[in-house]
Amino acid sequence: MAEPVIELRDVSKRYGARAAVESLSIALERGSFTALLGGSGSGKTTALKLINGLIAPDAGEVMIEGRPAGEGPGYALRRRIGYVFQEVGLFPHMTVAENIAIGPRLAGWDARRTGERVAELLALVDLPPDAGPRRPSELSGGQRQRVGVARALAAGPAIMLMDEPFGALDPVTRDALGRDYRALHERLGLTTLMVTHDVWEALLLADRIVVMDAGAILADAPPAALLAGHPDARVQALMETPRRQAERVRAMAERP
Amino acid sequence: MEDRFDAALALLPGYLGQHVLVSASALLLGLAVSLPLAVGASRSAALRWPVLALASLVQTIPSLALLALFYPLLLALSAASRAMFGHGFAALGFLPSLLALTLYSMLPILRNGVAGLSAVDPAAVEAARGVGMTDRQRLFWVELPLAAPVIMAGVRTAAVWTIGAATLATPVGQTSLGNYIFAGLQTENWVFVLFGCVASAVLAMAADQLLGLIESGLSARRRWRIWAGLAGLAIGLAACLAPLAGAGGGANRYVVGAKNFSEQYILAELLADRIRKTGAAVDMKEDLGSNIAYQALKAGEIDAYVDYSGTLWANVLGRRDNPGRQAVLATLTEALARRDGVRVVGAIGFENAYALAMPRAKAAALHIASLADLAAHASELTFGADLEFLSRPEWTAVRRAYGLAFRREVQYQPTFMYRAAASGQADVISAFSSDGRIAADDLVVLADPRHALPPYDSVLLVSPRRAHDARLIGALSPLIAKIPVEAMRAANLSVDRDRDKATPAAAARALEGRLGL
C-alpha cells in the first residue's frame, strides 16, 4: 500500500475530564473519499480539526503527506488543505471573487493568474461568471456553499476537509451539490474527508465510512459492507433506517 | 450687542484653530492608543476587565478636574526631566490638555472596539483560520473590516465628547473656544458665552456628520462615502488650522498672561498694547488659574502679567505675617528674583485687596462698619465668597483675628457673588477693592483694624528669560505707579456693567487715554 496522505496514530484530545477523541488511528489513501459518521459529541469534528492543526493533539501523532502536522506553523499547513464547513463562513465584506481569491492571495499569486483562477473556479462549481462581483449576501444558500467549495479549492490543494458541508441546505440542492462535488473529487484527484451525521449522505457519496462514537471508532468499512451487516449493535441500528427506507421506496417503485 | 458679536467673530480663527488642533490631536492619539488596546482586550479576558474598568474610571472624573490634575503631574515630570536630562517641558497649555482629552476620548473607542471585535461572526473567524491566515492577516483582513462600523460609531462619540471637553482646556492655558465662555462668564458678556457654545456645538456636529458619513460608508460598503467623509475632514482640518500656521514663534514674540477676571483681561490688553507699540508681536494666554499664572511665568510660558503682592506673599512665599505694604513689596522683589529668577518690575499704583463688603443699607441697619463689628452678627449672616477665598490663607487669618463664624458659607463664581449680594442671597461677600461693582452696587467695604488681610499692591512681573529684555522692560516701565484705583475701578465697571458694555480691549485703550500713556 502506498504511503497514506493523512494518518492519525493513537491521537487523543481531552477537554477537561471529557475525552473528545481517544486513541484514534486512521490512515487515508490518496484519492479516497471517506465519510466520518457520528452523532453530536462523537468526536468527528475534533478529528477533522486535528488534521489541519486547528486543534493540537494531547497525545499521538498526526502525519500529513508523510510529515508531522505540527512541524511548521499551523497557517502554512492550512494553506495546503481545503476546508469547507456548514456555516460556509464567506467573508461578508468581500465580493464572491475576492472570497475565492483568498487562497491565491495568501499564496502570493499575481493578479492575472488569480483572476484566471477565479473564473475557472466559478465555472468548475457551476456558478454564473457574473457572480464574481456580487456580495455573498446576494446569493442563495446553495450558491453560497458552491462559493465555499470554490474558495477551498482555489489554491489547488490535494486534500479537502469538509465539516457537514451540505447540512444546512434543502434536500434537492443538497443532493445536487453532493453529486457535483463527488464529480469534482474524481476529476481533480482529491483526497476528501467529510464529516457528517447523515447516514444517507455518507452512503451515497463516500467510498469508505468510519463510524465514530464517544471519541472512538465503532466501524470502518465500505458502504456496501456496512449495509450488509455489522457485529456492533449500534452500527447495525444506524444502518437499519436507510435499509428499511430503501426497501419501502423500492416496493413502491415496483407496484405503481 | 453688534460690536460684541464682531469682537467675538474677530477672535474666531485663532480660537477655532487652537480648539481643532488640541481636540484632533487628542482624538488621533486616543485612537492610536485605544485601538491596539481594544484588539488586546477583545482577545484576552484577563486584559479586558482592567482596561475597560480603568477607562470607565477616567470617565467618572469631572473633565475640568482631569485637565487640572495633569498640570501638577506634568510640572513634577518636567522638574524630574530637568534634573535628569537638563531640560524640562511646558507643563501648561497644549500638553496637559492633550493628555487629559486623550484619556477622555478612550472609553467610547475602547468599548466599541471590544464590542465590535467580539461580535464578528464566529464562522468568518473560523473560515479565516481555516484558509490559513496568520493572526495578523485575520485581524487586518477580516476582523477589523467587519468591526469597523461599530468602532467608527465609538470614534464619533469620542469626537463629540473631546470637542465639548476641549472648551475646558482654557483654564490650564490652552486657547480654545472655551475662552469665549470663560471670559464671557467673568465679564457678563453673554454674547461671548453663547458664541462659544454655538461655535463648539457646530464644530462637534460637523465632525460628527463627517465621521457618520465614513461610518455609513463602512457599514454599507460604499467606498465613495468613506472617501467623501475623509476628504471633508481633511479640508475642514486644513481650513481650521491654516490661521495658526502664520502665527509661528520667534524671539520677537511676547506672551502676556491674564488670570480669569475682568481687571486681568484689561491689564493684559494694556500690557499687550504697550509691547505692540515697540513693533513686537504679542500672544495672549488668558483665564489662567490664580496659582497657575505664576507657575507659567516662572516656567517662561508667559512673559509678563500683573499679580497682587498679598497673593504672592501668601501663596508663593507661604508667609502668614503682615509686615506692612513697603516691606512686603521689598521682600517679594528680592525673594522672587533669588528663588525663581522672576523680575518684579514694580507696583503699578492701585491695590486690589480682598475685602469683606456688604450692602450699605444692611450694614447701617446692623451698625456694622468693621470686621470687629461683623463678628457679633456673623452667626445670623450668610457669607458669599468667590471660588477660592475660603481655601486661601487670608480667610484663615481673618477668621482667627476676628473670630468670625457665619451661619452659612456659599461659594460663587465672582460675577454671581456680586449678584447674590444685590439680591440678598448673601449678606456679606469677599469683594475686590478695585472692583467697580462695589460702588455700582452700593456696597461698603468693612474696615480691617487688626490688619489681618495683607496688602495687595498690583505688581508687574516678568519671566526669568525676559528679565533683562530691554525692549520689554522699556515698554512696561512707564506703567509703574501710574494707575490710581479710581481709574482701574472705572475701567473694570465699563466691562462688568449690564448696559453699554465695553470689551476689555476697548477699556484698556480708554484707560490709556485717561492716563495719557
Residue B333 to residue B513: CA distance in whole angstroms: 30
Set of cell numbers at residue B452: 489681618
Q: Are B104 and A79 in contact (CB under 8 A)?
A: no
Q: Which of B151, B61, B44 is nearest to B103 (CA)?
A: B61
Domain count, chain B: 3
pLDDT of the residue at B251: 55
Mean pLDDT calculated for residue range B11-16: 89
End position of a domain, from candidates B391, B416, B445: B445
Q: Say if the Cβ atoms of A54 and B129 lie within 8 Å.
A: yes
pLDDT of the residue at B185: 81
Owner of C-alpha cell 501663596:
B315
pLDDT in tens, A106-164: 999 999 999 999 999 999 898 998 999 999 999 999 999 999 999 999 999 999 999 99
Contacts of A151 in chain B (CB under 8 A): 131
Q: Is residue B424 part of a domain?
A: yes
Owner of C-alpha cell 512686603:
B328
B366-376 b/e (C-beta count within 10 Å ≥ 16 → b): bebeebbbbbe
Q: How confident is the model at residue B59 (pLDDT cuts 50, 70, 90)?
A: confident
Task: Looking at the complex, report in whole angstroms how far the Cα of residue A255 sits from the nearest Cα belonging to chain B.
Answer: 47
Task: Looking at the complex, report in whole angstroms how far the Cα of residue A87 sits from the nearest Cα belonging to chain B.
Answer: 6
- Report the CATH number at residue B307: 3.40.190.10
Are B239 and B274 found together in one domain? no
Q: How confident is the model at residue B250 (pLDDT cuts 50, 70, 90)?
A: low
- Report the CATH number at residue B395: 3.40.190.120
Residue percentage of chain B with pLDDT more than 70:
98
Number of residues assigned to chain A:
256
Q: Which residue would you say has higher pLDDT here, B2 or A96?
A: A96
Are B313 and B383 found together in one domain? no
Are B273 and B220 found together in one domain? no
Q: Which of B174, B37, B44 is nearest to B100 (CA)?
A: B174
Segments of chain A with pLDDT less than 70: 1, 256
Mean pLDDT calculated for residue range B90-108: 88
Mean model confidence pLDDT for chain B: 89
Q: Is residue B248 part of a domain?
A: no
Residue B506 to residue B508: CA distance in whole angstroms: 5
DSSP labels for B390-430?
Answer: GGSHHHHHHHHHHT---SEEEEE-HHHHHHHHHHTS-SEEE
Q: Which of A152, A210, A211, A216 is nearest to A184 (CA)?
A: A152
Q: Is residue B450 part of a domain?
A: no
Q: Which residue would you say has higher pLDDT here, B98 or B45?
A: B98
ipTM: 0.90
Mean pLDDT calculated for residue range B44-49: 88
B501, pLDDT greater than 60: yes
With CA atoms as reference, the chain B residue closest to A79 would be B132
* pTM, full prediction: 0.77
Q: Say if the Cβ atoms of B126 and A106 lie within 8 Å.
A: no
Are B509 and B385 found together in one domain? no
Q: Which residue would you say has higher pLDDT here, A211 or B88?
A: A211
Owner of C-alpha cell 457528517:
A196
Mean pLDDT calculated for residue range B334-359: 92
Q: Is residue B156 part of a domain?
A: yes
Residue B346 to residue B335: CA distance in whole angstroms: 14
What is the domain extent for residue B305?
A: 253-352+456-514
Test the A interface: residue of B131, B141, B152, B226 with most A CBs within 10 Å: B131
- Report the CATH number at residue B120: 1.10.3720.10
Are B77 and B114 found together in one domain? yes
Residue B102 to residue B91: CA distance in whole angstroms: 16
Contacts of A77 in chain B (CB under 8 A): 132
pLDDT of the residue at B416: 86
Q: Is residue B490 part of a domain?
A: yes
DSSP labels for A232-247?
Answer: SHHHHHHHHHHHHHHH
Q: How confident is the model at residue B288 (pLDDT cuts 50, 70, 90)?
A: confident
Are B418 and B465 found together in one domain? no
Q: How confident is the model at residue B428 (pLDDT cuts 50, 70, 90)?
A: very high
Are B369 and B347 found together in one domain? no
Are B92 and B117 found together in one domain? yes
Are B236 and B272 found together in one domain? no
Contacts of B141 in chain A (CB under 8 A): 91
Are B108 and B32 found together in one domain? yes
Residue B467 to residue A208: CA distance in whole angstroms: 95
Q: Say if the Cβ atoms of A78 and B129 lie within 8 Å.
A: yes
Q: Say if the Cβ atoms of B127 and A78 lie within 8 Å.
A: no
Extract long-range pairs of A199-203: CB within 8 Å, 24+ residues apart.
A199/A37, A199/A238, A199/A239, A199/A241, A199/A242, A200/A242, A201/A35, A201/A166, A201/A174, A202/A35, A202/A37, A203/A227, A203/A242
End position of a domain, from candidates B243, B264, B283: B243
Q: What is the CA radius of gyration of chain B?
A: 27
Mean pLDDT calculated for residue range B241-255: 71
Indicate the residue of A76, A85, A103 with minimum beta-carbon distance to B126.
Answer: A85
Q: Is residue B15 part of a domain?
A: yes
Indicate the residue of A88, A106, A135 with minimum beta-carbon distance to B132.
Answer: A106
Identify the contact set of chain B against chain A, taking CB-CB distances under 8 A: 121-134, 137, 141-142, 145-146, 221
Mean pLDDT calculated for residue range B109-130: 93
Residue A209 to residue A225: CA distance in whole angstroms: 10
Indicate the residue of A78, A93, A135 with minimum beta-carbon distance to B132.
Answer: A78
Are B80 and B64 found together in one domain? yes
Test the B interface: residue of A87, A98, A99, A161 with most B CBs within 10 Å: A87
End position of a domain, from candidates B243, B271, B294: B243
Q: Is residue B122 part of a domain?
A: yes
pLDDT of the residue at B436: 85
pLDDT of the residue at B252: 67
Helix H, strand E, coil C: the string for B189-200 is: CHHHHHHHHHHH
Q: How confident is the model at residue B437 (pLDDT cuts 50, 70, 90)?
A: confident
Could you tell me the end-to-end alpha-carbon distance of chain A, in angstroms, rounded to an integer? 48
Residue A4 to residue A7: CA distance in whole angstroms: 6
Mean pLDDT calculated for residue range B323-328: 89
**CB count, 10 Å around CB of B49?**
11
Are B115 and B257 found together in one domain? no
Residue B177 to residue B97: CA distance in whole angstroms: 13
Q: Is residue B451 part of a domain?
A: no
Indicate the residue of B126, B131, B132 with minimum beta-carbon distance to A76.
Answer: B132
Contacts of B150 in chain A (CB under 8 A): none
Q: Which residue would you say has higher pLDDT here, B86 or A103?
A: A103
For A16-148, list the strands marked E by DSSP. 18-28, 33-37, 59-64, 67-68, 81-85
